[in-house]
Structure 1
Amino acid sequence: MLKRDKVICGIDLGSSKFKAVVSLVDGRGNFYRFEHVEAKNSGVRGGVVTDISKATLVLKQLIAKLENKINRKIKRVYVN
């Protein structure tokens, strides 16, 4: 991974798992799937956030795992 590559992070808040993926965009606009992580859901049931504190904690842990894997700070995420 080059420092000039753009990092894009997407997170899916599912009812059973939270999933996150990081893709890189090179200088020519090509996308590459780089890393992904999953965590057991906490705080979301049936597509509805039921405990914001638990959901926030899991999201922070998920992002920290990705940052450690790619050795870069994630500044922005797209959430579904």
Structure 2
Amino acid sequence: MAQKSSFEKALNRLDEIVSQLESGDLSLDESLKIFQEGIELSRFCTKKLSEAESKVKKLTKTSSGKFKLEDLKIEEKEE
């Protein structure tokens, strides 16, 4: 559960950073400092999501009536 909390804290901090940068109230040095923090948090969150995605499985029923676990294939949506 600590991992989830850590992910949520990082995501919340990332939201705060975006708001601060969008406000335009920071000096260039302050902006660069928190931008770098945001990059690190983004990488952390991406890593945690990738780890979670690799653990997701689906239960499928075979033609013989038995069940088996398979990796869940997640299709990327085009934007």
Q: TM-score range by the shorter chain?
A: 0.3 to 0.5
Larger relative contact order (Cα-Cα within 8 Å, sequence gap ≥ 6): 1
Q: Please identify the structure whose Cα radius of gyration is greater.
A: 2
Normalized per residue, the structure richer in helix is: 2
TM-score normalized with structure 2 length: 0.32
TM-score normalized with structure 1 length: 0.32
